[in-house]
Amino acid sequence: MTELAFWKKKSLKEMSEQEWESLCDGCARCCLHKLEEHDTGKIFYTNVACHLLDLKNCRCTDYVHRHQRVTQCIRIPVDGGANLHWMPSNCAYRLLAEGRDLPDWHPLVSGDPRSVHKAGISIRYMAVPKRAGMDLESHVVSGD
Ligand code: SF4
Ligand code: SF4
Instruction: Assess whether the C-beta atom of 50 lies below 6 angstroms from ligand 2.
Output: yes
For residue 6, what are the contacts with CB-CB under 8 A and spacing of at least 6? 15, 19
CA of 135 to the centre of ligand 2 (A): 20
Instruction: Assess whether the C-beta atom of 70 lies below 6 angstroms from ligand 2.
Output: yes
For residue 39, what are the contacts with CB-CB under 8 A and spacing of at least 6? none
Confidence (pTM): 0.91
CA of 1 to the centre of ligand 1 (A): 31
User: Which of ligand 2's atoms lies nearest the C-alpha of 73?
Assistant: 4
* Identity of the residue numbered 13: K
Over the chain (144 residues), the average pLDDT of each successive run of 10 is: 90 94 96 93 94 96 96 83 82 93 98 96 94 93 72
Please state, in angstroms and rounded to a whole number, the distance separating the CA atoms of residues 111 and 105: 9
Q: What are phi and psi of 96, to 5 degrees?
A: -70, -40
